[in-house]
Amino acid sequence: MKRTTIIVFSVLAVSAGAFAQDQAAIDKPLMAAPAQLKAGATVIKWKADFTYDTLKKGTNKLVCYDISGYPTHQPFNLECTNLGNLPRVAQNLKTEALGDRAKVNAAFAEMEKNGTRVKPEYGSVWYHLMGRDAENTRTHLTIAVPMATTQTTGLPESRDAGTVWIMNAGTTTAHLMTPGE
């Protein structure tokens, strides 16, 4: 009886530890999600081959993930965006794995030029929480407007106007920025 009790408690302790690790892997990426979308968000974990495992299936269109320490990313980096943007994120991560900023930029420029750059969903939001560690972070929010320009939106393409502006206008990477970002 004693041996059986010890085995049962050992199994329960290991199971509780695994559950806590799984819950932490879900809770961390959700730190980047806005409060009203957090409960219904999907959480994924990127794999080395730029596919992903779903850790938590959500009920809305938001997906969150941890890319802390990935090449060209900050040591602490969490993101959330629309589920439809996952092909774009996979392409970004694969390209950024080149590591060298000049090579990465050249690869993205070539994809833009030859039309193979995956477009994000127009109007989708990208939520970022990033920094050198969990205690020293900043939030950053952008709205994807692929191929948008001043001519198509009426918004300026420079931060100098002190208003919302289009960064990377005319490309698949075009997105709205807010003053101070």
pLDDT at residue 178, as a whole number? 84
pTM, entire model = 0.84
pLDDT at residue 146, as a whole number? 97
For the chain, what is the mean pLDDT?
89
Residue range 73-98: mean pLDDT, rounded: 96
pLDDT at residue 14, as a whole number? 43
| 55 falls within a domain | yes
| 116 falls within a domain | yes
- Provide the pLDDT confidence category of residue 11 given band limits of 50, 70 and 90: very low
pLDDT at residue 99, as a whole number? 84
**What sign does the dihedral 72-81-27-49 (CA atoms) show?**
negative
- Provide the pLDDT confidence category of residue 160 given band limits of 50, 70 and 90: confident
Distances (CA, A) of 145 to 29, 56, 172: 24, 28, 8
pLDDT at residue 15, as a whole number? 45
Q: What percentage of the chain exceeds 90 in pLDDT?
A: 76
**Residue 77: closest CA among 64, 66, 90, 63:** 66
Contact 66, 28 (CB under 8 A): yes
- Provide the pLDDT confidence category of residue 20 given band limits of 50, 70 and 90: low
Residue range 152-170: mean pLDDT, rounded: 92
Q: Is 49 exposed, middle or buried (0-12, 13-18, 19+ CB in 10 A)?
A: exposed
Total tally of structural domains belonging to the chain? 1
Domain of residue 118 covers 2-144
| 122 falls within a domain | yes
- Provide the pLDDT confidence category of residue 9 given band limits of 50, 70 and 90: very low
| 171 falls within a domain | no
Contact 70, 96 (CB under 8 A): yes
| 158 falls within a domain | no
- Provide the pLDDT confidence category of residue 1 given band limits of 50, 70 and 90: low
| Of residues 158 and 80, more confidently modeled | 80
pLDDT at residue 13, as a whole number? 43
Residue range 101-116: mean pLDDT, rounded: 95
| 133 falls within a domain | yes
| 140 falls within a domain | yes
Residue range 23-30: mean pLDDT, rounded: 94
